[in-house]
Amino acid sequence: MALSNELKALDITMGTPAFKLQHLVGQGRIRLLSSNYELYGDMSQRVQAVLGEFSAGVEPYSIDEMFVRFDGFEPGQLLEHARQLHHKVRQYTGIPVCVGVAPTRTLAKLANRAAKKIPAYDGVCVLRAESVETRALLRRFELGDLWGVGRRLVERLAVLGIRTGWDLAQADPRRIRRQFGVTLERTALELRGTPCIEMNDADEARQRIMTSRSFGKLTDNLGEIREAIRQHGQRGAEKLRSQGSLARAVLVFLKTNPFRNDLPQYSPSLAVELPRPTDDSREILCAAGHALQRIYRKGYRYQKGGVMLLDLIDADRQQLSLLDTPQSAAERQRSQSLMTTMDELNRRMGRGTVKLGTPSPGAAWHLRCASRTNRYSTRWEELPAALAK
């Protein structure tokens, strides 16, 4: 999932199955570490808090990448401001980052890549739209290194003689739109310095909510899989309530390990429509349970399972049925009160304090974390002393 420079030097690529690297582990040449999503999320929030001191316009793009608006700064101030940001993040969190500054998001991504790959930048690169420096970088990096340009697009663009970012920036935007669509046209315009891409509002409600995770080991035990689906369903319902939405349908899926050619393969999914739009964990888990019962098949060892909440609507704008009665309205009120109480207790006492069903300790579906380092905690007092200072 993530590679150090030492692993990259061994030509190990992203997504390589761990079992294919065990000979290198045995030789002591590499070390594989377990994921720690709680710590990743906690550190991401800390980085965002530091960025918030430099600008009110912080737009998270992923758990390890954020856009920061520098509106109002004089061009001559940008480099020093970016260097301060670069230093403060490292000082306050211990995380090395790279900072790329440019008039558009696509060029900012290019500047960030240059700051990461070219030592002379020392982690900070500031680009102007039509500078000689920007032109040189667009010619230096491959087309596939640009944000939003995938492998298939690279192949199709090569047929037209477009092989670098500079070639794309100089191409006729109207022709690009006709042949490849508006998304690539915007990329081409952004490479010229024309802002065309806006990020989704961080507060905008998601249109679907997915909760899934690989099991700690392959399992064919229906009871264990049911526990995993129940946990994913509850977490999805919590996210649903936190953004003020209701779900109209629930999708459940299972997957076997595609790399195990010695085992039979089966990757089913099923969507179940809910009787009414809801954010009640009980109703969502009931639907997920019915879906799992219908797609589960004996004889397969499953690697992953998950729950997706679909067809979301705003809880404040739901369409009530003409057949509603005072009893159904009272039931909705009781449901809302119960879910609010559960969420409040979990917020105050810690996630999982109140839940529906008790997961079996050591079950196969629990994520394996046997290879974590000694510094895996999210607790500040357990971080290295150098960071605490």
Above 60 in pLDDT, residue 163?
Answer: yes
Measured N-to-C along each axis, helices 281-295 and 326-349 cross at an angle, to the nearest 10 degrees, of: 90
CA 32 to each of CA 20, 28, 303, 305, 386: distance values in angstroms, whole numbers, following the listed order? 12, 11, 19, 24, 24
Mean per-residue pLDDT over the chain, rounded: 85
Least confident of 27-31, 119-123, 187-191, 319-323: 319-323
CA angle 25, 5, 304 (to 5 degrees): 60
Query: Residue 130: what residue type?
Result: E
Taking only the tens place, the pLDDT of each residue in 237-247 is 999 998 888 99
Taking only the tens place, the pLDDT of each residue in 251-304 is 999 999 888 889 999 999 999 888 888 999 999 999 999 999 999 999 999 999
pLDDT of residue 202: 43
Place of tokens 């930048």: 121
Helix or strand holding residue 253 (H, E): strand 245-256
Above 70 in pLDDT, residue 38?
Answer: no
Greater confidence, 214 or 178?
178
Place of tokens 């076997």: 256
Q: Which of helix, strand or coil describes residue 272?
A: strand
Pairwise CA distance, residues 78 & 47, whole Å: 20
pLDDT of residue 203: 45
Q: Which band of pLDDT confidence, cut at 50, 70 and 90, is reported for residue 328?
A: low
Distance of CA 370 to the CA centre of its chain: 23
Distance of CA 15 to the CA centre of its chain: 16
CA angle 312, 315, 317 (to 5 degrees): 100
Q: Annotate 96-121 with DSSP letters as a single string.
A: ---EEE-SSHHHHHHHHHHHHH-GGG
Question: What is the mean pLDDT of the segment spanning 127-148?
Answer: 91
Residues belonging to the chain: 389
Question: What is the mean pLDDT of the segment spanning 337-360?
Answer: 82
Tokens read off for 382: 């357990």
Query: Residue 356: what residue type?
Result: L
Pairwise CA distance, residues 66 & 44, whole Å: 10
By the 8 A CB rule, do 75 and 88 touch?
no
Pairwise CA distance, residues 147 & 180, whole Å: 15
By the 8 A CB rule, do 218 and 254 touch?
no
By the 8 A CB rule, do 147 and 138 touch?
no
